[in-house]
Chains A and B, each alone.
Chain A
Amino acid sequence: MGASWSVQDFRQTGVTQSGPGAFFLFCFWKTWRPSVEKYGQMRFLTAEAKVSAGRLNGKMREKTLTMDTLNPQVKAVEYAVRGPIVIKAGEIEKYLEEGGTKPFSEVIKANIGDAHAMGQQPITFLRQVVALCTFPELMDSPSFPEDAKWRARRILQGCGGHSLGSYSASPGVECIRKDIAAYIEQRDEGVPSDWENIYLTTGASDGIMTILRLLVSGKDSSRTGVMIPIPQYPLYSAAISEMDAVQVNYYLDEDNCWALDINELYRAYQAAKLHCQPKVICIINPGNPTGQVQSKKCIEEVLHFAYEENLFVMSDEVYQDNVYTPDCQFHSFKKVLYEMGPEYFNSVELASFHSTSKGYTGECGFRGGYMEVINMDPEVKAQLVKLLSVRLCPPLAGQAAMDVIVNPPQPDEHSYKQFHQEKSSVLGALADKAKLTEQILNAVPGIKCNPVQGAMYAFPRIFIPPKAVEEAKALGMQPDMFYCLRLLEETGICVVPGSGFGQKDGTYHFRMTILPSIEKLKVLLGKVRDFHISFLKEYSALE
């Protein structure tokens, strides 16, 4: 549907909202879902109101699939990272392409961690190996290095008919699973990893959904509860909605650099137990959208908590290579669990996730990823394999890309120097940009930004004047959505409102990536600063 939203549209519809239709909408709103006030939901309500109106006129819908008959869990799904603001950004881009004029010449999409779209160059070695796998005739080409050819040959030998075009086994190509296990063992300084616990996935999202799907069961107060951080990456809330599980929020401590507080876990857990059965705890480390890197001690506390309360642990570690602050270090949940001793290591059920999309490679389009599952009941593991097999296999090119990441050039190999140089240059630039973003944002009155210790985003808190909050609410919009829409319309910068990730009541944020090139990022941050100041002025003047 080519629906178009802008603050202006809302202002216009606001005029008609004094009519009886608006009152109906309002009542429907209040009775149907009093706790949810999100902008996305607003759209669905508008749609339903239309359907009902059609019925009143005696015009029966002939369609089988309508908003009334649609799977209600699908309706409940929200995914802010590609939500209304991004759709609006796409529309503005088209408008500009067609010669339309705006106060800016291009839309900067800082809404999603899409490194290549922001100009980051692919790692040469990775692309060489995948190209060789794709078109093995290139094995004869002198312009490809031997170490790339060697890897490509090895991957192809693991493929049916030596072709990337055959299905792989559903858990993934065997030699790639072995390489991943070896990589994990090396990363975790010798903690054993069994390749049969490794499952290749279609990006990390696919793995996360699959594990949640296994875990969700029960009815009413025995329905599976899934503990997720707030703010969270909205894949989690979307998956929970889609599966009709119960979302259990635990709040990260913004005043303490978005650290996870074990007391808050207990509070959330105890409160949830009254109405569901909390069975899973999800952790994102380094944090998305919040950029914190968890300390080892904190991970120990979480694992002990999971051990005590019998929770399945899901640790989303897709940003494991993205740690920028010198005093922070990535600790895998697996390794910490091991170090806590065999009682823990042999008992806590843990699934951890990695991906080709982040790190220094940023290969999002390949949809590569893996998960490692430990201590899973063998019978359930058989069920997992069965479930994966229905979708046949993850994309082979993504599996090959994953293989290069876990098996990069070694110091004695020809491609090492270039590889190493490319890798350090990406990670070095990201560290610079993390620092720069924090510094510039913190210089703006009314914006406060925690250090971006890791991952790819800043999630600053923004002060929105009460008058602006009022205006947003009158438009049926979250105040930070209102803010971000205005930012988009006035500057072309596309960021995602904090309400899409969840935040403490009464606080407002946005998520922006730190991925644009340094020059572009500086321009972007300058524009955000100017916008914010003028926004504050505009709405303070109204007081």
Chain B
Amino acid sequence: MAILCASTSTIFSSSERTSFGSLKKTIPSNQSSFLGFFPVAALSKPGSVLPTTLSFSKRDFRVCFQDLSLVPENQRWMFEESEADGPDIWNNTWYPKAKDHINTEKTWYIVDATDKILGRLASTIAVHIRGKNLATYTPSVDMGAFVIVVNAEKVAVSGKKRTQKLYRRHSGRPGGMKVETFNQLQQRIPERIIEHAVRGMLPKGRLGRALFNHLKVYKGPDHPHDAQKPIELPIRDKRVQKQR
């Protein structure tokens, strides 16, 4: 577990854990400048495999500063006594800096909406976009991932919602209420169904509106984001698939 600060290594035995730095799957070489850990190529992790290895990507703990534990002697006068070994990470709650949430380095997920229950799918998507599945979650900062939804016209709902669920909007003028059923909206603009569902589950505010832009919904099975190499969205809800 190659974490930068020398102080952390004294807490648990460091010698065993430096060899565990190998769990990281892909470490692009151009980013290791401020990561500071040892990119070991071997991927052997003995014993139990963690359920979501993605959570152990370097992004989650790209939290540290540059290694100041070795402050040179002639510069020690600049630091207070308590900070001479580097900033205190165990008594201060971590807050992400700009380099911890760069948009171009976030994970991209893809999910196929075919025969998935609308609300359950939207809930999982919203959790991933918000970043609540990460240990580095911060409410004021966008730490979440991007999510691509394909086959949006095939999303399923249970019961009689297909004909009875109403989508309303108001133009602002008197008598300007427009009402549509699920079916009609699905014929017209199928992406809007999933967008409406996810938008209701994201926070309302400036940050929520910015998070909503991280959701990309498409009608067919194709999407233009192959360059981002999206991975499969892990859904833990057991009842998300519509029972036939």
Tell whether A and B belong to one assembly: no
Task: Please list the residues of chain B having a beta carbon within 8 angstroms of any beta carbon in chain A.
Answer: none
